[in-house]
Amino acid sequence: RIGDTSLTHRELSRAGLAVSGATVSPTGRLGAGAGVRAVRAPGASWRAEPLDRLWAMPVAEQIARALASDLDVPKAQDTGLAGDTGDTSDGSTQPTAQDGRDGRDGRDLLFLDVTLIGTVREAAGECLLADCDGLTVRLAAAHDDPALPDRENLRLLALLAHGRGPGTRLRVVARLTPAPLPRAVLLAASHPTDPDTHVDLGLDRLRRADLPAEPTAGTSVGAGDARPAPTVQPATASDEAPVHLLRRRVHQAASGGRRVLAFPGSKESEAARLRRYGLGTAGALLTALHATAAERARDPFGRLLPADTGRFATAWLGAAVYTEEVDRALCAAAWGASSPGLDSR
């Protein structure tokens, strides 16, 4: 509710508000004080200004912005998503970030034009495969809660890639998931049969009637409509850098404490495997993590002294930062974008 006007989240995703006297918090939230006035206004189509410019930004630049948002570096603030404007040398206005604004406020959103080409099954469920500027992107459901329609909507969209209009073009909003393969979680998509409207996949439920009609046996596809499906080359475990070996130990220490890593196990083989893949630093960090977890000194009488938690904390922090940076670098390479890195702060 703002002023004398109230809208549900579903209504606000399609309608607009004309607001006067509003205040904005450092995180971009609109204030609803006594002096705020608001009335309903028509919503804007994704294919009309000013929203259309969000999809005009090259994908590589969007990925660099999203990765920079985790580090809160200046590149994350140059997005055009905040709604603030500043004067430029040519007299036009450009979006700028307010001082103190959280750089991650919507900066990890991706605005993509994709072509559905298939599905792939993962441990967490089925993902859509889509071609985006020559990249094969995996689009996963944002939530697995059965009370939410995300998973069911994804299943219906998968029908578009299997018989009901293969090669369907969709305009989508997704959130980047740092991974060695181009991957994002799907938040919203243009309607399969009405490109001027969109579906919020966590709020709206698609029906089979919303999909294009299935082609009949005698229906032929015109030469101008036929599109060759991009070649999908699923990555195998041997193609991916085994950074998960170090990441898993970092997570185990965070949930179970230092003693979990002090137990005997396959730590030598895991470190050796990391080195075989050229990840010598990861192997050294894993070795140091296990060594500091199991390290216990004794006093002159043979009694165990308290563990040096400072050394273990330093080793754990180094491993955690390393895995995040490697994940970010692998993600940027998969999308063909530049990685911001810690030196961009």
Alpha carbon separation from 84 to 47, 98, 152, 279 (Å, rounded): 21, 7, 37, 43
Burial of 335 (0-12, 13-18, 19+ CB in 10 A): buried
Average pLDDT, the chain: 78
For residue 122, list its beta bridge partners: 125
Confidence of residue 81 (pLDDT cuts 50, 70, 90): low
Residue of 238 and 165 predicted with greater confidence: 165
What digits encode the pLDDT tens for the residues 167-213?
Answer: 788 999 999 988 888 999 999 999 888 888 889 999 889 888 888 87
For residue 170, list its beta bridge partners: 114
Three-state secondary-structure class, residue 116: strand
Stretch among 35-44, 55-64, 175-184 having the lowest mean pLDDT: 35-44
What digits encode the pLDDT tens for the residues 302-319?
Answer: 787 777 788 889 999 999
Whether the CB-CB separation of 19 and 30 falls below 8 Å is answered with: yes
For residue 75, the model assigns a pLDDT of 52
Whether the CB-CB separation of 165 and 218 falls below 8 Å is answered with: no
For residue 265, the model assigns a pLDDT of 66
For residue 105, the model assigns a pLDDT of 62
User: Taking residues 47-73, what's their average pLDDT?
Assistant: 86
- Rounded Cα distance between 212 and 266, Å, is 53
User: Taking residues 243-256, what's their average pLDDT?
Assistant: 90
Which ranges constitute the DSSP H helices of the chain?
9-12, 52-56, 59-71, 150-160, 244-256, 258-262, 267-276, 280-294, 309-335
Q: pTM higher than 0.85, yes or no?
A: no
Confidence of residue 339 (pLDDT cuts 50, 70, 90): confident
Three-state secondary-structure class, residue 156: helix
**What is the signed CA dihedral for 209, 210, 216, 219, rounded to 10 degrees?**
150
Q: Which domains does the chain have, with CATH numbers?
A: 9-41 (no CATH), 109-213 (2.40.50), 238-344 (no CATH)
What digits encode the pLDDT tens for the residues 92-117?
Answer: 334 443 443 444 567 889 999 999 98
User: Taking residues 68-81, what's their average pLDDT?
Assistant: 59
For residue 344, the model assigns a pLDDT of 47
Q: Which two tokens stand for residue 20?
A: 């006067």
User: Taking residues 54-60, what's their average pLDDT?
Assistant: 93
Which residues touch 132 (CB under 8 Å, ≥6 apart)? 59, 112, 113, 114, 115, 182
Residue with tokens 């130990």: 249
